Chain A
Amino acid sequence: MAARCRPHSVDAMIEVHELTKRFGDTTAVAGVSFRLDPGSVAGFIGPNGAGKSTTMRMMVGLDRPTSGRCLVGGQPYAKLPAPLRTVGTHIDPQAQHPGRSARNHLRVLARTHRIPDRRADQLLEMVGLATAADQRIGGFSLGMRQRLGLASALLGDPAVLVLDEPANGLDPDGIIWIRTLLRSLAAEGRTVFVSSHLMGELAQTADRLIVLGRGRVLADGPVGALTARYGTRVSRVRPEDPAGLEPLLRDRGAGVTLLPDGMLEVTGLEPADIAVLAQRHGFLLFENSTVAASLEDAYLALTRDEAPHAAQAIR
Protein backbone atom coordinates (compact mmCIF):
# COMPACT_ATOMS: atom_id res chain seq x y z
CA MET A 1 0.00 0.00 0.00
CA ALA A 2 1.23 3.46 -0.90
CA ALA A 3 0.94 4.81 2.63
CA ARG A 4 3.33 2.27 4.06
CA CYS A 5 6.99 1.63 3.63
CA ARG A 6 9.65 -0.27 5.52
CA PRO A 7 9.46 0.40 9.26
CA HIS A 8 12.16 2.43 10.91
CA SER A 9 15.28 0.58 11.78
CA VAL A 10 14.96 0.19 15.52
CA ASP A 11 15.34 -2.91 17.57
CA ALA A 12 11.65 -3.72 17.57
CA MET A 13 11.81 -6.30 20.32
CA ILE A 14 9.45 -5.76 23.25
CA GLU A 15 10.28 -7.28 26.57
CA VAL A 16 7.67 -7.40 29.31
CA HIS A 17 9.17 -8.54 32.59
CA GLU A 18 7.16 -9.41 35.72
CA LEU A 19 4.67 -6.62 35.09
CA THR A 20 2.28 -6.18 38.00
CA LYS A 21 -0.51 -3.67 38.57
CA ARG A 22 -2.61 -3.37 41.69
CA PHE A 23 -5.61 -1.08 42.18
CA GLY A 24 -6.06 -1.05 45.95
CA ASP A 25 -6.72 -4.64 47.00
CA THR A 26 -7.36 -5.80 43.44
CA THR A 27 -4.50 -7.21 41.42
CA ALA A 28 -5.29 -6.53 37.77
CA VAL A 29 -2.01 -7.84 36.38
CA ALA A 30 0.19 -10.26 38.29
CA GLY A 31 3.76 -10.84 37.17
CA VAL A 32 3.14 -10.96 33.45
CA SER A 33 6.22 -11.70 31.35
CA PHE A 34 6.65 -12.25 27.62
CA ARG A 35 8.82 -11.20 24.73
CA LEU A 36 7.62 -10.09 21.32
CA ASP A 37 9.84 -10.54 18.32
CA PRO A 38 9.72 -8.70 14.99
CA GLY A 39 7.96 -10.10 11.95
CA SER A 40 5.07 -11.80 13.68
CA VAL A 41 1.54 -11.21 14.92
CA ALA A 42 1.10 -12.03 18.60
CA GLY A 43 -2.49 -12.35 19.82
CA PHE A 44 -3.38 -11.34 23.35
CA ILE A 45 -6.52 -13.05 24.51
CA GLY A 46 -8.46 -13.50 27.71
CA PRO A 47 -11.87 -12.93 29.31
CA ASN A 48 -13.16 -9.48 30.24
CA GLY A 49 -11.22 -8.17 33.21
CA ALA A 50 -8.28 -10.49 32.57
CA GLY A 51 -5.87 -7.53 32.48
CA LYS A 52 -5.19 -7.28 28.73
CA SER A 53 -5.89 -3.56 28.37
CA THR A 54 -4.10 -2.73 31.63
CA THR A 55 -1.03 -4.61 30.41
CA MET A 56 -1.11 -2.76 27.10
CA ARG A 57 -1.58 0.58 28.86
CA MET A 58 1.45 -0.13 31.04
CA MET A 59 3.48 -1.05 27.96
CA VAL A 60 2.98 2.45 26.50
CA GLY A 61 3.34 4.36 29.75
CA LEU A 62 -0.30 5.28 30.35
CA ASP A 63 -0.52 3.26 33.57
CA ARG A 64 2.30 3.08 36.11
CA PRO A 65 3.23 -0.52 36.94
CA THR A 66 3.20 -1.43 40.62
CA SER A 67 6.29 -3.47 39.81
CA GLY A 68 8.04 -4.92 36.80
CA ARG A 69 8.96 -3.23 33.55
CA CYS A 70 8.42 -3.12 29.83
CA LEU A 71 11.28 -2.31 27.49
CA VAL A 72 10.98 -1.37 23.83
CA GLY A 73 14.25 -1.93 22.03
CA GLY A 74 15.97 -1.97 25.41
CA GLN A 75 14.49 1.22 26.87
CA PRO A 76 11.26 2.23 28.63
CA TYR A 77 8.56 3.74 26.40
CA ALA A 78 8.82 7.12 28.12
CA LYS A 79 12.51 7.35 27.22
CA LEU A 80 12.00 6.76 23.48
CA PRO A 81 13.15 9.82 21.53
CA ALA A 82 10.31 9.50 19.02
CA PRO A 83 7.61 7.24 20.50
CA LEU A 84 5.20 7.41 17.54
CA ARG A 85 7.98 6.34 15.19
CA THR A 86 8.80 3.30 17.30
CA VAL A 87 5.47 2.08 18.69
CA GLY A 88 2.09 2.66 17.05
CA THR A 89 -0.66 2.39 19.64
CA HIS A 90 -4.40 2.01 19.37
CA ILE A 91 -5.83 1.49 22.84
CA ASP A 92 -9.23 3.14 22.96
CA PRO A 93 -11.35 4.20 19.96
CA GLN A 94 -13.31 6.56 22.22
CA ALA A 95 -10.17 8.53 23.13
CA GLN A 96 -10.63 10.92 20.21
CA HIS A 97 -11.95 14.47 20.61
CA PRO A 98 -15.48 14.48 19.16
CA GLY A 99 -15.24 18.11 18.05
CA ARG A 100 -12.20 17.66 15.82
CA SER A 101 -12.15 16.42 12.22
CA ALA A 102 -10.44 13.14 11.36
CA ARG A 103 -7.79 14.98 9.33
CA ASN A 104 -6.97 17.40 12.16
CA HIS A 105 -6.97 14.53 14.66
CA LEU A 106 -4.12 12.91 12.73
CA ARG A 107 -2.35 16.21 12.04
CA VAL A 108 -2.32 17.08 15.74
CA LEU A 109 -0.51 13.82 16.45
CA ALA A 110 1.75 14.18 13.41
CA ARG A 111 2.97 17.62 14.51
CA THR A 112 4.33 16.23 17.79
CA HIS A 113 6.95 14.37 15.72
CA ARG A 114 7.14 16.77 12.76
CA ILE A 115 5.56 14.18 10.50
CA PRO A 116 4.35 15.89 7.29
CA ASP A 117 0.60 16.64 7.05
CA ARG A 118 0.37 14.68 3.78
CA ARG A 119 0.99 11.51 5.78
CA ALA A 120 -2.37 12.06 7.50
CA ASP A 121 -4.14 12.23 4.14
CA GLN A 122 -2.34 9.12 2.89
CA LEU A 123 -3.45 7.17 5.95
CA LEU A 124 -7.04 8.39 5.77
CA GLU A 125 -7.07 7.10 2.21
CA MET A 126 -5.57 3.81 3.32
CA VAL A 127 -8.09 3.15 6.11
CA GLY A 128 -11.03 4.16 3.94
CA LEU A 129 -11.85 7.46 5.64
CA ALA A 130 -10.76 9.86 2.88
CA THR A 131 -14.33 10.96 2.19
CA ALA A 132 -14.93 11.59 5.92
CA ALA A 133 -11.63 13.42 6.47
CA ASP A 134 -13.26 16.75 7.27
CA GLN A 135 -16.16 15.34 9.26
CA ARG A 136 -16.13 15.73 13.02
CA ILE A 137 -15.29 12.55 14.91
CA GLY A 138 -18.36 12.96 17.12
CA GLY A 139 -20.47 11.72 14.19
CA PHE A 140 -18.32 8.63 13.54
CA SER A 141 -19.51 5.06 14.14
CA LEU A 142 -17.38 2.73 16.29
CA GLY A 143 -16.03 1.12 13.13
CA MET A 144 -14.94 4.50 11.73
CA ARG A 145 -13.29 5.37 15.04
CA GLN A 146 -11.44 2.05 14.94
CA ARG A 147 -10.18 2.82 11.43
CA LEU A 148 -9.07 6.28 12.57
CA GLY A 149 -7.34 4.72 15.57
CA LEU A 150 -5.43 2.40 13.26
CA ALA A 151 -4.44 5.36 11.10
CA SER A 152 -3.15 7.09 14.28
CA ALA A 153 -1.14 3.99 15.15
CA LEU A 154 0.44 3.87 11.68
CA LEU A 155 1.19 7.60 11.55
CA GLY A 156 4.86 7.32 12.48
CA ASP A 157 5.43 4.22 10.33
CA PRO A 158 6.41 2.37 13.52
CA ALA A 159 8.25 -0.90 13.89
CA VAL A 160 5.91 -2.07 16.66
CA LEU A 161 2.12 -1.98 16.81
CA VAL A 162 0.14 -2.37 20.03
CA LEU A 163 -3.56 -2.68 19.19
CA ASP A 164 -6.32 -3.28 21.73
CA GLU A 165 -9.32 -4.99 20.10
CA PRO A 166 -8.98 -3.15 16.77
CA ALA A 167 -11.60 -5.33 15.06
CA ASN A 168 -14.29 -4.50 17.60
CA GLY A 169 -17.15 -2.73 15.82
CA LEU A 170 -15.86 -3.38 12.31
CA ASP A 171 -18.19 -4.86 9.68
CA PRO A 172 -17.25 -8.18 7.98
CA ASP A 173 -15.44 -6.34 5.19
CA GLY A 174 -13.53 -4.37 7.80
CA ILE A 175 -12.59 -7.53 9.66
CA ILE A 176 -11.18 -9.10 6.50
CA TRP A 177 -9.37 -5.83 5.76
CA ILE A 178 -7.76 -5.64 9.20
CA ARG A 179 -6.76 -9.30 9.07
CA THR A 180 -4.94 -8.69 5.78
CA LEU A 181 -3.43 -5.46 7.08
CA LEU A 182 -2.01 -7.05 10.24
CA ARG A 183 -0.53 -9.95 8.29
CA SER A 184 1.09 -7.60 5.78
CA LEU A 185 2.46 -5.38 8.55
CA ALA A 186 4.09 -8.41 10.16
CA ALA A 187 5.40 -9.52 6.76
CA GLU A 188 7.16 -6.15 6.52
CA GLY A 189 9.11 -7.09 9.63
CA ARG A 190 7.02 -5.26 12.22
CA THR A 191 6.05 -6.56 15.61
CA VAL A 192 2.26 -6.71 15.84
CA PHE A 193 0.67 -7.22 19.26
CA VAL A 194 -3.10 -7.39 19.08
CA SER A 195 -5.75 -8.22 21.63
CA SER A 196 -9.14 -9.57 20.70
CA HIS A 197 -12.19 -11.38 21.95
CA LEU A 198 -12.82 -12.72 18.47
CA MET A 199 -11.06 -16.06 18.73
CA GLY A 200 -11.77 -16.95 15.11
CA GLU A 201 -10.04 -13.74 14.12
CA LEU A 202 -6.93 -14.51 16.10
CA ALA A 203 -6.86 -18.07 14.79
CA GLN A 204 -6.56 -16.69 11.27
CA THR A 205 -4.31 -13.72 12.06
CA ALA A 206 -1.94 -14.52 14.90
CA ASP A 207 1.22 -16.62 14.75
CA ARG A 208 1.36 -16.86 18.48
CA LEU A 209 -1.12 -16.49 21.34
CA ILE A 210 -0.66 -15.19 24.86
CA VAL A 211 -3.66 -16.19 26.97
CA LEU A 212 -4.35 -14.10 30.04
CA GLY A 213 -6.68 -14.96 32.92
CA ARG A 214 -7.08 -13.05 36.19
CA GLY A 215 -3.97 -11.06 35.37
CA ARG A 216 -1.72 -14.07 34.83
CA VAL A 217 -0.34 -15.64 31.67
CA LEU A 218 -2.17 -18.98 31.33
CA ALA A 219 -0.53 -20.06 28.10
CA ASP A 220 1.91 -18.69 25.58
CA GLY A 221 2.79 -20.39 22.32
CA PRO A 222 2.06 -20.90 18.63
CA VAL A 223 -1.67 -21.04 17.80
CA GLY A 224 -1.49 -24.61 16.47
CA ALA A 225 0.37 -25.90 19.51
CA LEU A 226 -2.06 -24.33 21.96
CA THR A 227 -5.07 -25.63 20.07
CA ALA A 228 -3.64 -29.14 19.96
CA ARG A 229 -2.67 -29.07 23.61
CA TYR A 230 -5.75 -27.53 25.19
CA GLY A 231 -8.49 -28.16 22.63
CA THR A 232 -10.75 -31.20 23.07
CA ARG A 233 -11.21 -33.55 20.11
CA VAL A 234 -14.83 -34.51 19.58
CA SER A 235 -16.13 -37.55 17.69
CA ARG A 236 -19.40 -37.08 15.85
CA VAL A 237 -21.38 -40.34 15.61
CA ARG A 238 -24.71 -40.89 13.83
CA PRO A 239 -26.03 -44.33 14.91
CA GLU A 240 -29.23 -46.00 13.73
CA ASP A 241 -30.32 -46.14 17.40
CA PRO A 242 -28.83 -43.21 19.38
CA ALA A 243 -30.75 -44.01 22.57
CA GLY A 244 -29.34 -47.55 22.57
CA LEU A 245 -25.71 -46.63 21.93
CA GLU A 246 -25.57 -43.67 24.35
CA PRO A 247 -25.55 -45.70 27.63
CA LEU A 248 -22.94 -48.10 26.23
CA LEU A 249 -20.61 -45.18 25.47
CA ARG A 250 -21.16 -43.72 28.93
CA ASP A 251 -20.38 -47.08 30.53
CA ARG A 252 -16.97 -46.88 28.79
CA GLY A 253 -16.32 -43.49 30.47
CA ALA A 254 -17.03 -41.31 27.43
CA GLY A 255 -18.72 -37.93 27.61
CA VAL A 256 -21.80 -38.02 25.38
CA THR A 257 -24.12 -35.27 24.17
CA LEU A 258 -27.24 -36.26 22.24
CA LEU A 259 -28.09 -33.63 19.65
CA PRO A 260 -31.69 -33.02 18.43
CA ASP A 261 -30.94 -34.52 15.01
CA GLY A 262 -29.91 -37.82 16.62
CA MET A 263 -26.17 -37.13 16.32
CA LEU A 264 -23.97 -38.03 19.32
CA GLU A 265 -20.97 -35.88 20.22
CA VAL A 266 -18.51 -38.09 22.06
CA THR A 267 -15.39 -37.12 23.97
CA GLY A 268 -12.93 -39.49 25.59
CA LEU A 269 -13.17 -42.26 23.00
CA GLU A 270 -11.51 -42.48 19.60
CA PRO A 271 -13.66 -43.20 16.49
CA ALA A 272 -12.05 -46.64 16.14
CA ASP A 273 -13.07 -47.60 19.71
CA ILE A 274 -16.60 -46.35 19.08
CA ALA A 275 -16.84 -48.36 15.84
CA VAL A 276 -15.67 -51.59 17.56
CA LEU A 277 -18.12 -51.07 20.45
CA ALA A 278 -21.03 -50.42 18.06
CA GLN A 279 -20.17 -53.45 15.94
CA ARG A 280 -19.98 -55.77 18.99
CA HIS A 281 -23.45 -54.73 20.14
CA GLY A 282 -25.00 -54.73 16.67
CA PHE A 283 -25.48 -50.98 16.23
CA LEU A 284 -25.33 -49.63 12.73
CA LEU A 285 -23.34 -46.38 12.33
CA PHE A 286 -24.14 -44.02 9.44
CA GLU A 287 -21.34 -41.58 10.38
CA ASN A 288 -18.30 -41.72 12.66
CA SER A 289 -15.82 -38.86 12.32
CA THR A 290 -13.56 -36.59 14.36
CA VAL A 291 -13.92 -32.84 14.57
CA ALA A 292 -10.55 -31.09 14.93
CA ALA A 293 -10.06 -29.14 18.13
CA SER A 294 -10.72 -25.43 17.64
CA LEU A 295 -8.99 -22.43 19.13
CA GLU A 296 -12.28 -21.57 20.79
CA ASP A 297 -12.28 -24.94 22.57
CA ALA A 298 -8.70 -24.38 23.67
CA TYR A 299 -9.52 -20.88 24.89
CA LEU A 300 -12.56 -22.04 26.83
CA ALA A 301 -10.59 -24.89 28.37
CA LEU A 302 -7.86 -22.50 29.46
CA THR A 303 -10.06 -19.73 30.83
CA ARG A 304 -12.97 -21.76 32.21
CA ASP A 305 -12.15 -20.85 35.81
CA GLU A 306 -10.38 -17.56 35.10
CA ALA A 307 -13.20 -15.22 34.06
CA PRO A 308 -13.98 -12.71 36.83
CA HIS A 309 -17.30 -11.75 35.20
CA ALA A 310 -18.64 -15.10 34.00
CA ALA A 311 -22.36 -15.23 33.20
CA GLN A 312 -24.58 -18.10 34.29
CA ALA A 313 -24.97 -20.83 31.69
CA ILE A 314 -28.19 -20.66 29.64
CA ARG A 315 -30.14 -23.91 29.88
Chain B
Amino acid sequence: MTAGEKQRLSLPHLVSSEWLKLRSLRSFWLGAAGTVLLAAAGALLPALFFTADNPPTQREAPFVVFQFGSMGAQIALLVLAVLSLTSEYASGSIRLTFVAAPRRLQVIVAKAVVVTAVSAPLAFGSLAVAYAECIPTLRSLGLRPTPASILGALLQHVGYLVLVALSAFAVALAVRRTAAGVGIGLAVVFVLPTVLSLLGDALHLKLAQVDFSTAAHSLLSGSSSTRTLLTSAVAVTAWLAAPLLVGGLALVRNDA
Protein backbone atom coordinates (compact mmCIF):
# COMPACT_ATOMS: atom_id res chain seq x y z
CA MET B 1 0.00 0.00 0.00
CA THR B 2 1.48 3.38 -0.97
CA ALA B 3 1.58 6.42 1.33
CA GLY B 4 -1.06 8.06 -0.83
CA GLU B 5 -3.42 5.10 -0.46
CA LYS B 6 -2.87 5.07 3.31
CA GLN B 7 -3.68 8.76 3.56
CA ARG B 8 -7.26 8.38 2.42
CA LEU B 9 -10.41 9.35 4.16
CA SER B 10 -11.86 6.47 6.17
CA LEU B 11 -14.13 5.93 9.16
CA PRO B 12 -11.32 4.89 11.56
CA HIS B 13 -9.36 8.05 10.61
CA LEU B 14 -12.46 10.16 11.16
CA VAL B 15 -13.02 8.57 14.56
CA SER B 16 -9.40 9.32 15.49
CA SER B 17 -9.88 12.93 14.35
CA GLU B 18 -13.14 13.32 16.28
CA TRP B 19 -11.55 11.92 19.44
CA LEU B 20 -8.67 14.40 19.19
CA LYS B 21 -11.20 17.14 18.46
CA LEU B 22 -13.03 16.39 21.68
CA ARG B 23 -10.07 15.93 24.00
CA SER B 24 -8.23 19.00 22.69
CA LEU B 25 -10.91 21.26 24.19
CA ARG B 26 -10.81 22.39 27.80
CA SER B 27 -14.61 22.17 27.98
CA PHE B 28 -14.39 18.39 27.46
CA TRP B 29 -12.20 17.91 30.52
CA LEU B 30 -14.46 20.21 32.54
CA GLY B 31 -17.43 18.15 31.39
CA ALA B 32 -15.68 14.90 32.31
CA ALA B 33 -14.84 16.25 35.76
CA GLY B 34 -18.43 17.47 36.05
CA THR B 35 -19.73 13.96 35.28
CA VAL B 36 -17.73 12.49 38.16
CA LEU B 37 -18.67 15.32 40.53
CA LEU B 38 -22.38 15.19 39.71
CA ALA B 39 -22.45 11.40 40.04
CA ALA B 40 -20.77 11.74 43.44
CA ALA B 41 -23.22 14.50 44.40
CA GLY B 42 -26.16 12.33 43.35
CA ALA B 43 -24.87 9.43 45.44
CA LEU B 44 -24.79 11.67 48.52
CA LEU B 45 -28.56 11.27 48.80
CA PRO B 46 -28.56 7.51 49.48
CA ALA B 47 -25.38 7.91 51.56
CA LEU B 48 -27.20 10.39 53.79
CA PHE B 49 -30.67 8.95 53.86
CA PHE B 50 -30.17 5.18 54.05
CA THR B 51 -31.06 4.59 57.73
CA ALA B 52 -31.40 1.62 60.04
CA ASP B 53 -35.16 2.38 60.25
CA ASN B 54 -35.66 2.03 56.52
CA PRO B 55 -32.72 0.11 55.02
CA PRO B 56 -32.72 -1.09 51.41
CA THR B 57 -32.43 -4.79 50.74
CA GLN B 58 -29.08 -6.29 49.86
CA ARG B 59 -30.24 -6.57 46.22
CA GLU B 60 -31.76 -3.09 46.03
CA ALA B 61 -28.82 -1.19 47.49
CA PRO B 62 -26.51 -0.98 44.43
CA PHE B 63 -29.43 -0.14 42.12
CA VAL B 64 -30.53 2.73 44.35
CA VAL B 65 -26.97 4.09 44.62
CA PHE B 66 -26.39 3.92 40.86
CA GLN B 67 -29.81 5.39 40.13
CA PHE B 68 -29.06 8.50 42.17
CA GLY B 69 -25.50 8.65 40.82
CA SER B 70 -26.69 8.45 37.23
CA MET B 71 -29.28 11.18 37.86
CA GLY B 72 -26.38 13.58 38.41
CA ALA B 73 -24.01 12.13 35.83
CA GLN B 74 -26.56 12.21 33.03
CA ILE B 75 -26.73 16.02 33.17
CA ALA B 76 -23.01 16.41 32.43
CA LEU B 77 -22.93 13.57 29.88
CA LEU B 78 -25.92 15.04 28.10
CA VAL B 79 -24.24 18.45 27.88
CA LEU B 80 -21.00 16.84 26.62
CA ALA B 81 -22.83 14.88 23.95
CA VAL B 82 -24.69 17.97 22.74
CA LEU B 83 -21.53 20.10 22.72
CA SER B 84 -19.61 17.50 20.71
CA LEU B 85 -21.70 18.60 17.73
CA THR B 86 -23.18 22.02 18.45
CA SER B 87 -19.87 23.67 19.41
CA GLU B 88 -18.74 23.04 15.83
CA TYR B 89 -21.86 24.67 14.45
CA ALA B 90 -21.48 27.61 16.86
CA SER B 91 -17.85 28.24 15.87
CA GLY B 92 -18.42 27.55 12.17
CA SER B 93 -15.68 24.92 12.24
CA ILE B 94 -18.20 22.33 11.00
CA ARG B 95 -17.57 23.79 7.52
CA LEU B 96 -13.90 22.88 7.78
CA THR B 97 -14.89 19.39 8.95
CA PHE B 98 -17.12 18.94 5.92
CA VAL B 99 -14.44 20.25 3.57
CA ALA B 100 -12.05 17.61 4.94
CA ALA B 101 -14.75 14.92 4.98
CA PRO B 102 -17.49 15.78 2.48
CA ARG B 103 -19.46 12.58 3.16
CA ARG B 104 -21.38 14.16 6.01
CA LEU B 105 -23.17 11.09 7.32
CA GLN B 106 -19.80 9.38 7.77
CA VAL B 107 -18.73 12.31 9.96
CA ILE B 108 -21.86 11.94 12.07
CA VAL B 109 -21.25 8.20 12.47
CA ALA B 110 -17.67 8.94 13.60
CA LYS B 111 -18.95 11.49 16.12
CA ALA B 112 -21.56 9.04 17.45
CA VAL B 113 -18.86 6.37 17.85
CA VAL B 114 -16.74 8.83 19.86
CA VAL B 115 -19.71 9.92 22.00
CA THR B 116 -20.40 6.26 22.81
CA ALA B 117 -16.73 5.42 23.41
CA VAL B 118 -16.28 8.43 25.69
CA SER B 119 -19.54 8.26 27.63
CA ALA B 120 -19.24 4.53 28.48
CA PRO B 121 -15.95 4.68 30.46
CA LEU B 122 -16.87 8.06 31.88
CA ALA B 123 -20.19 6.67 33.13
CA PHE B 124 -18.44 3.56 34.47
CA GLY B 125 -15.80 5.58 36.34
CA SER B 126 -18.16 8.19 37.76
CA LEU B 127 -20.68 5.58 38.96
CA ALA B 128 -17.86 3.56 40.52
CA VAL B 129 -16.83 6.70 42.42
CA ALA B 130 -20.44 7.23 43.45
CA TYR B 131 -20.69 3.67 44.80
CA ALA B 132 -17.38 3.94 46.66
CA GLU B 133 -18.78 7.01 48.37
CA CYS B 134 -21.74 4.98 49.69
CA ILE B 135 -19.78 1.92 50.87
CA PRO B 136 -19.33 3.17 54.49
CA THR B 137 -23.08 3.84 54.80
CA LEU B 138 -23.99 0.44 53.33
CA ARG B 139 -21.55 -1.36 55.64
CA SER B 140 -22.88 0.47 58.66
CA LEU B 141 -26.28 -1.00 57.77
CA GLY B 142 -24.76 -4.45 57.42
CA LEU B 143 -25.28 -4.47 53.65
CA ARG B 144 -22.62 -6.25 51.62
CA PRO B 145 -23.97 -6.79 48.07
CA THR B 146 -22.12 -9.41 46.04
CA PRO B 147 -19.62 -8.17 43.40
CA ALA B 148 -21.78 -9.77 40.70
CA SER B 149 -24.88 -7.82 41.77
CA ILE B 150 -22.88 -4.58 41.98
CA LEU B 151 -21.37 -5.12 38.53
CA GLY B 152 -24.76 -6.04 37.04
CA ALA B 153 -26.38 -2.87 38.41
CA LEU B 154 -23.38 -0.79 37.36
CA LEU B 155 -23.43 -2.06 33.76
CA GLN B 156 -27.17 -1.49 33.54
CA HIS B 157 -26.77 2.13 34.54
CA VAL B 158 -23.70 2.62 32.32
CA GLY B 159 -25.86 1.39 29.44
CA TYR B 160 -28.57 3.84 30.42
CA LEU B 161 -26.13 6.77 30.53
CA VAL B 162 -24.72 5.84 27.11
CA LEU B 163 -28.28 5.82 25.72
CA VAL B 164 -28.90 9.24 27.29
CA ALA B 165 -25.71 10.59 25.66
CA LEU B 166 -26.69 9.14 22.27
CA SER B 167 -30.19 10.53 22.59
CA ALA B 168 -28.79 14.00 23.39
CA PHE B 169 -26.43 13.70 20.41
CA ALA B 170 -29.36 12.81 18.15
CA VAL B 171 -31.33 15.83 19.41
CA ALA B 172 -28.26 18.04 18.85
CA LEU B 173 -28.07 16.80 15.24
CA ALA B 174 -31.69 17.81 14.73
CA VAL B 175 -31.54 21.26 16.36
CA ARG B 176 -27.83 22.24 15.92
CA ARG B 177 -28.05 24.73 18.81
CA THR B 178 -26.47 24.13 22.22
CA ALA B 179 -29.21 25.73 24.30
CA ALA B 180 -32.00 23.96 22.42
CA GLY B 181 -30.15 20.64 22.47
CA VAL B 182 -29.44 20.73 26.20
CA GLY B 183 -32.93 22.04 26.98
CA ILE B 184 -34.71 19.34 25.01
CA GLY B 185 -32.33 16.65 26.31
CA LEU B 186 -32.95 17.61 29.93
CA ALA B 187 -36.69 17.84 29.35
CA VAL B 188 -36.72 14.31 27.87
CA VAL B 189 -34.98 12.75 30.87
CA PHE B 190 -36.34 14.89 33.71
CA VAL B 191 -39.68 16.41 32.75
CA LEU B 192 -41.21 14.01 30.25
CA PRO B 193 -41.51 11.02 32.64
CA THR B 194 -43.74 13.05 34.98
CA VAL B 195 -45.76 14.57 32.13
CA LEU B 196 -46.39 11.20 30.46
CA SER B 197 -47.22 9.57 33.76
CA LEU B 198 -49.82 12.25 34.61
CA LEU B 199 -51.19 12.20 31.09
CA GLY B 200 -51.37 8.42 31.13
CA ASP B 201 -53.32 8.46 34.41
CA ALA B 202 -55.75 10.99 33.01
CA LEU B 203 -56.25 9.09 29.75
CA HIS B 204 -56.07 5.60 31.30
CA LEU B 205 -53.20 4.70 28.97
CA LYS B 206 -49.81 3.20 29.79
CA LEU B 207 -47.96 6.20 28.39
CA ALA B 208 -45.15 5.96 30.95
CA GLN B 209 -43.95 2.82 29.13
CA VAL B 210 -42.96 4.87 26.09
CA ASP B 211 -41.09 7.52 28.08
CA PHE B 212 -37.38 7.39 27.13
CA SER B 213 -35.96 6.94 30.65
CA THR B 214 -38.51 4.34 31.70
CA ALA B 215 -38.18 2.42 28.45
CA ALA B 216 -34.36 2.51 28.57
CA HIS B 217 -34.26 1.27 32.18
CA SER B 218 -36.83 -1.41 31.41
CA LEU B 219 -34.89 -2.57 28.34
CA LEU B 220 -31.57 -2.72 30.17
CA SER B 221 -32.90 -4.43 33.30
CA GLY B 222 -34.18 -7.30 31.16
CA SER B 223 -36.39 -8.43 34.00
CA SER B 224 -39.73 -7.45 32.44
CA SER B 225 -42.03 -9.55 30.27
CA THR B 226 -41.22 -10.12 26.59
CA ARG B 227 -44.00 -7.76 25.56
CA THR B 228 -42.73 -4.99 27.85
CA LEU B 229 -39.20 -5.54 26.59
CA LEU B 230 -40.38 -5.27 23.00
CA THR B 231 -42.36 -2.09 23.76
CA SER B 232 -39.30 -0.64 25.50
CA ALA B 233 -37.00 -1.55 22.60
CA VAL B 234 -39.35 0.09 20.10
CA ALA B 235 -39.71 3.20 22.29
CA VAL B 236 -35.95 3.64 22.77
CA THR B 237 -35.30 3.06 19.06
CA ALA B 238 -37.95 5.63 18.16
CA TRP B 239 -36.53 8.21 20.59
CA LEU B 240 -33.10 7.79 19.00
CA ALA B 241 -34.19 7.38 15.39
CA ALA B 242 -36.63 10.29 15.09
CA PRO B 243 -34.15 13.13 15.75
CA LEU B 244 -31.40 11.26 13.87
CA LEU B 245 -33.66 11.02 10.83
CA VAL B 246 -34.68 14.68 10.97
CA GLY B 247 -31.10 15.85 11.56
CA GLY B 248 -29.61 13.44 9.02
CA LEU B 249 -31.98 14.56 6.26
CA ALA B 250 -31.25 18.24 6.96
CA LEU B 251 -27.54 17.49 7.00
CA VAL B 252 -27.57 15.81 3.62
CA ARG B 253 -29.96 18.20 1.89
CA ASN B 254 -28.97 21.61 3.27
CA ASP B 255 -25.92 23.82 2.82
CA ALA B 256 -23.27 23.54 5.52
Contact = CB atoms under 8 A, between A and B. Distances in A.
Interface in A106-160: 107-109, 111-115, 152, 156
Given A82-B8, A114-B7, A97 B100 contact: no
Interface in A13-36: none
B20 A83 contact: no
A78 B9 contact: no
A109 B88 CA distance: 14
A97 B20 contact: no
A61 B66 CA distance: 46
B92 A95 contact: yes
Given A62-B95, A81-B8, A114-B6, A108 B24 contact: yes
B26 interface: yes
How would you classify the secondary structure of chain B's contact residues: helix, strand, loop or mixed? helix
Nearest to A101: B24
A78 B255 contact: no
A104 B20 contact: yes
A107 B100 CA distance: 12
B91 A98 contact: yes
Nearest to B24: A104
B147 interface: no
Interface string B21-54: 1001111000000000000000000000000000
Contact of B7 (A61, A85, A101): A85
How would you classify the secondary structure of chain A's contact residues: helix, strand, loop or mixed? loop
A96 interface: yes
Contacts of A11: none
Contacts of B221: none
A113 to B, nearest CB: 5
B246 interface: no
Interface string B92-105: 11111011111100
Given A104-B24, A115-B7, 13 more contacts: A64-B254, A64-B255, A80-B102, A83-B9, A97-B93, A98-B91, A104-B20, A108-B17, A108-B20, A113-B8, A113-B100, A114-B7, A156-B7
Interface of A: 8, 57, 60-64, 77-78, 80-85, 89, 91-92, 94-101, 104, 107-109, 111-115, 152, 156
20 contacts: A60-B102, A61-B98, A62-B95, A83-B100, A83-B101, A85-B8, A97-B91, A97-B93, A104-B24, A108-B17, A108-B24, A111-B13, A111-B17, A112-B13, A112-B100, A113-B9, A113-B100, A114-B8, A114-B10, A115-B7
